[in-house]
Structure 1
Amino acid sequence: MTKLKLGAIQDEKSVRVTLELPATVHRDLVAYAEALAHETGQGVSEPSKLIVPMIQRFMATDRGFSRARRSS
């Protein structure tokens, strides 16, 4: 079995997903949003807005997932 990273698949319409994050993950997400705002000069109104781009980036760089997807 291939090692996979977490990710999301783009679809034409949005799908609402509700999830609970551990407090430590939420704190890290807030800290990441602050670091990103400092680096880019653009504030992020809600740290949860970072989740989709993070997941997309994660999947795009997951070689195991790319191989598995090509072979299916």
Structure 2
Amino acid sequence: MSTTKKLRLGPLPKLASTKLTFVCPVSLKADLDRYAALHAQAYGEAVDAEKLIPHMLEAFMAGDRGFSKNERVTRPLTRPASVDAPAR
């Protein structure tokens, strides 16, 4: 029986990716490493902090109401091609 509670991030999906490099404080890197260790303990799969960061950022942005509201306003609605195609 695991004593670790489920973490907010959950198991990681397999996604296509691109490399991005950023600089962070040493204390943040230490926190990310500790979170990665807890994540591995909770889900039984070793993962490093670098793999967690994109999922953390995605979760953060999904939960940011100001960003979500702005996305709805600035991103045009897309319709299926059949709706936009002229009738023949």
Matching residue within 66, 71, 83 for 1:69: 71
The CA distance in 2 between the partners of 1:19 and 1:34, in whole Å, is: 21
Larger radius of gyration: 2
Deviation readout 1:17-62 (Å, 9 max, x if unpaired): 2211110000000000001111111111x21111111111111111
Give unmatched runs, 5+ long, in structure 1: 1-12
Could you tell me which residue of structure 2 aligns to residue 34 of structure 1?
37
Higher relative contact order (CA 8 A, sep 6+): 1
Give unmatched runs, 5+ long, in structure 2: 1-15, 75-88
Normalised by the length of structure 1, the TM-score is 0.71
Normalised by the length of structure 2, the TM-score is 0.59
Count of residue correspondences: 59
The alpha-carbon deviation at position 16 of structure 1 amounts to 3.0
